[in-house]
Structure 1
Amino acid sequence: MLDETQFPFLAEKGHIVSLVGGGGKTTLLHAMAAHGARKGWRVLASTTTHIQRPKEPLLARTNAELAALWTSGNYAVAGAPAPDNKLTQPPQLERWMAQADAVFLEADGAKHLPCKAPAAHEPVLLPQSDIVLAVAGLSAVGKPLQEVCFRLETACTLLGVPPETILTPELLAKLLADEQGGRKAVGARHFYAVLNQADTPQRQAAGEKTKELLRARYGVSVVLTTFSEKERA
């Protein structure tokens, strides 16, 4: 269950939230969308790049399907068909966004790896988006960057380390907070780092250390999250 004291924007209508990074971004997107739907809001989830097709019958392809999902108390996932059972940005996205009480967008990809650095064309943040969440999975901490990081060469350049370097809380904090990392193109938008997969004592400890560094060194708001197997997208 998500906590509105940690994510205060979940208590307010009108936000357009973009999620970047890896390690549970899609799961978090669906959890936030479901949270808004339980409040009786018209919630739209979509992507500016690609997103996995939803497991449940939540896909809206027409105005009628969108209205039916909202009327039934569900959130709607909007996307145009893409290869590998994915969806891409639909042509009607901005029009549907204008009708929604809250919008959650995946704004980059990570190939199922727990952390990443953005490529030159990433992230794809819409001008209307006012909040950015940079997500990373704590399963990456303590492992070589070359095993856990998407866009490895970019990450190594950003961090100034070779690929075999062990990812520490210090390095993860820099990767998330740097303006060429998780904070790329954020500008004046509200920014949070989300440390997911805090589901063992070791990962929890790594998360708390990373959280402390992000707050003290970079002034970043940080939330630790964990999702059960059943909750994962």
Structure 2
Amino acid sequence: MDILMGFELVNPLSEMISFVGGGGKTTTMFSLATKLKEIDKKILVTTTTAIYYPSNNELFDEIFLTDQNDLKQLYSIKEGQIYLLGSSVSKEGKLLGVNPILLEEIYNMKIFDVILVEADGSKGRPIKAPAKHEPVVPPSTTKYIGVIGLDALFMEINSDIVHRIEEFTRIVEANIGDIIMPSTAARLITHPEGLFKNIPSSNCQGYVLLNKGEGEGFEAGREIIRLLEDNAPLFKRIIIGSMKYEKDIKFWRDFN
């Protein structure tokens, strides 16, 4: 299935999309950006936390490094281009985030068709729970995408698999060493302090991306969807996809 159809971005206009959780946020952002470039959209990729600077320069066309209010350079953007925005690049090769207030200003300028924001960090782990200060979501976010890597399913709860392990075990009511089951992921998704903790309350659509849905992960994803059917969800659609290897959406289910 088409990625843009899955996230309802076939003809986007003035969208700010925030990605939270674990399991492939950066890969998903650039996969969407590449597809949007193919239909000549003006795309900004950025973060309020930090992401690894892309090793493949073909993933973007130009980079802006600023956390200031001098935004005149943005008026020169062109259609069918991907722009990368950060405050600076660290010694570790990470693109450091910008202030959400700055992203609000850029969004209100209405010069980008789509702004893609990595609004959460997970240290490369497939699943996480947010700390008190997380995620850092711009208030004007129009689509909020919570990501879980299905490769976490049926693994033990430990620091190699789970980011923010203390918060995670409290939210999902489990212990370190327990096995992460589909029901564990379902609790993380529906808990008020879980995957949708800081979703803006108005004019924002929520999506769950169950990523790494190739192989056995697909059936695990379907089981999570089944468990959520009787809940009053905070999200509009749940998607099973493979953003890195198959670069595709395999299934989705609408909830409201």
d(CA) in 2 for partners of 1:218, 1:25:
25
Aligned pair partner of 2:88 in 58, 81, 86:
81
Match of 1:60 in 2: 63
The yes-or-no answer on 1:209 pairing with 2:226 is no
Larger displacement relative to structure 2 (81-90 or 33-42): 81-90
What amino acid is aligned across from residue 12 of structure 2 in structure 1? E
Gaps of 5+ in 2: 66-70, 248-256
Kindly state the Cα deviation for residue 178 of structure 1 after the two structures are TM-superposed.
Answer: 1.8
Q: Which digits, 9 at most, give the CA deviation of each residue in 1:100-138, with x for residues without a partner?
A: 111110001000000000000001111111211000110
Structure 1: which 5+ residue stretches go unaligned? Answer: none
Is the contact made by 2:87 and 2:97 (CA closer than 8 Å) also made in structure 1? yes
1:41 is displaced (CA, Å) by 1.1
Aligned partners of 1:72 and 1:190: how far apart in 2?
26
SS for the counterpart of 1:121 is: coil
In 1, Cα distance between equivalents of 2:219 and 2:229: 16
Question: Could you say which residue in structure 2 is the equivalent of 1:132?
Answer: 144
Which portions of structure 1, spanning 4 or more consecutive aligned residues, are displaced by more than 6 angstroms?
62-65
CA–CA distance in structure 2, aligned partners of residues 215 and 75 of structure 1: 37
- Aligned equivalents of 1:224, 1:26: Cα separation in 2: 17
Deviation at 1:65, TM superposition (A): 7.5
TM-score by length of 2: 0.81
Question: Are the structure 2 counterparts of residues 48 and 148 from structure 1 closer, same or farther at C-alpha, using a change threshold of 3 Å?
Answer: same
Q: Which residue in the other structure is 1:222 paired with?
A: 238
How many pairs are equivalent?
229
The answer to whether the 8 Å contact 2:46/2:97 transfers is yes
1:153 aligns with 2:173: no
Compare the two structures and name the one with the higher helix fraction.
1
Deviation track 1:75-100 (CA, whole Å, cap 9, x = no partner) reads 11111224321112246644444321
Deviates more, 1:175-184 or 1:56-65: 56-65
Superposition map of 1:88-99 within 5 A = 88-90=96-98, 93-97=103-107, 98=109, 99=111
Q: CA RMSD in A?
A: 2.3
In percent, how many aligned pairs have the same letter? Answer: 26
Alpha-carbon deviation of 1:13? 1.2
**Whole-Å Cα distance in 1 between the matches of residues 42 and 8 of structure 2?**
18
